[in-house]
Amino acid sequence: MAEVSPDFHWDWAYLQYIQAQLQRVTDGDIRKLMIFCPPRHGKSAMSTVRYPAYRMEQNLNMRVMLGCYDQSLANLFSRQTRRIAQDRGLRGGEIRAQDEWETIGGGSFRAVGVGGGITGRGADLIVIDDPIRSREEANSERWRDKIWDWYTNDIYTRLEPGGAIILIQTRWHEDDLAGRILASPDGPNWTVIQLPAEAEQDDPLGREEGAALCPERFD
């Protein structure tokens, strides 16, 4: 994965851990993955921007769909992935918008905000990145219901058989999208990565309790 974007912090321990789990998605060992990580720790840069570019280079027919809390954020991530694809010689096709573009092998990338229409489109890889913007929105039951309706009736229905879905978010509320999924009958099918800013007992990275997740930046 590092080859698509060499100038990234691939040597940071927690990003190596996330990368290993993403590789399991690539290998087909994981079909549904949740990544919980605090803000400003590179989870989107790796999982939302670089990972789709890596998958699209591995399979030029790959159809990727990205969902975020609004269209502007989805477009931002789409442009960043598109830039990598351009640098790697993957761009092609007739559709070249910031929210939808194609690769030379017939693959595609589609970016949508919560509530955005995606009728008739399927995806081999779905990435949902921070469907809730803030704690204030997370505390709104109406907004949580809206996101749940969008997830269950819209974006999730676009996942093709054998495809994979990744949910990346900061946990703001126990009844957020991740919480509802995990409480649903589909919950046991998900693999969960939880990396708090300060290590807790039985930390997956082997950190001592209280140790910073990213000492390179926040210690």
* Domains: count for the chain: 1
Largest CA-CA distance found in the chain, in angstroms, rounded:
52
What's the average model confidence in pLDDT over 108-137?
Answer: 89
Exposure string for 41-70, b = 16+ CB within 10 A, e = fewer: bbbbbbbbbbbbbbbbbeeeebbbbbbbbe
What's the average model confidence in pLDDT over 31-43?
Answer: 85
**Where in the sequence is the domain holding 175, given as residue range(s)?**
31-218
Confidence grade of residue 195 (pLDDT, cut at 50, 70, 90): confident
- What's the pLDDT at 1? 61
Has residue 15 been placed in a domain?
A: no
**Is the model's pLDDT at 181 over the cut of 60?**
yes
- What's the pLDDT at 41? 64
Has residue 19 been placed in a domain?
A: no
- What's the pLDDT at 218? 46
- What's the pLDDT at 6? 62
Kindly state the tokens that stand for 32: 């549904």
Which of the residue ranges 17-21, 61-65, 180-184, 195-199 would you say has the lowest mean pLDDT? 195-199
Has residue 26 been placed in a domain?
A: no
Kindly state the tokens that stand for 123: 């995806």
Which of the residue ranges 4-8, 20-24, 149-153 would you say has the lowest mean pLDDT? 4-8
Has residue 69 been placed in a domain?
A: yes
CATH number at residue 118: 3.40.50.300
Confidence grade of residue 200 (pLDDT, cut at 50, 70, 90): confident
Has residue 12 been placed in a domain?
A: no
Give the separation between CA 176 and CA 10, rounded to whole angstroms: 30
Confidence grade of residue 219 (pLDDT, cut at 50, 70, 90): very low
- What's the pLDDT at 133? 85
Give the separation between CA 154 and CA 114, rounded to whole angstroms: 10
**Is the model's pLDDT at 79 over the cut of 90?**
yes
Higher pLDDT, 65 or 38: 65
Has residue 20 been placed in a domain?
A: no
What's the average model confidence in pLDDT over 154-182?
Answer: 95
**Is the model's pLDDT at 217 over the cut of 60?**
no
What's the average model confidence in pLDDT over 103-124?
Answer: 88
SS3 sequence, the chain? CHHHCCCCCCCCHHHHHHHHHHHHHHCCCCCEEEEECCCCCCHHHHHHHHHHHHHHHHCCCCEEEEEECCHHHHHHHHHHHHHHHHHCCCEEEEEECCCEEEECCCCEEEEEECCCCCCCCCEEEEEEECCCCCHHHHCCHHHHHHHHHHHHHHHHHHEEEEEEEEEEECCCCCCCHHHHHHHCCCHHHCEEEECCCECCCCCCCCCCCCCECCHHHHC
Has residue 142 been placed in a domain?
A: yes
Q: Which residues pair with 103 in a beta bridge?
A: 91
Give the separation between CA 120 and CA 139, rounded to whole angstroms: 32
Has residue 130 been placed in a domain?
A: yes
Percent share of the chain, pLDDT over 90: 63
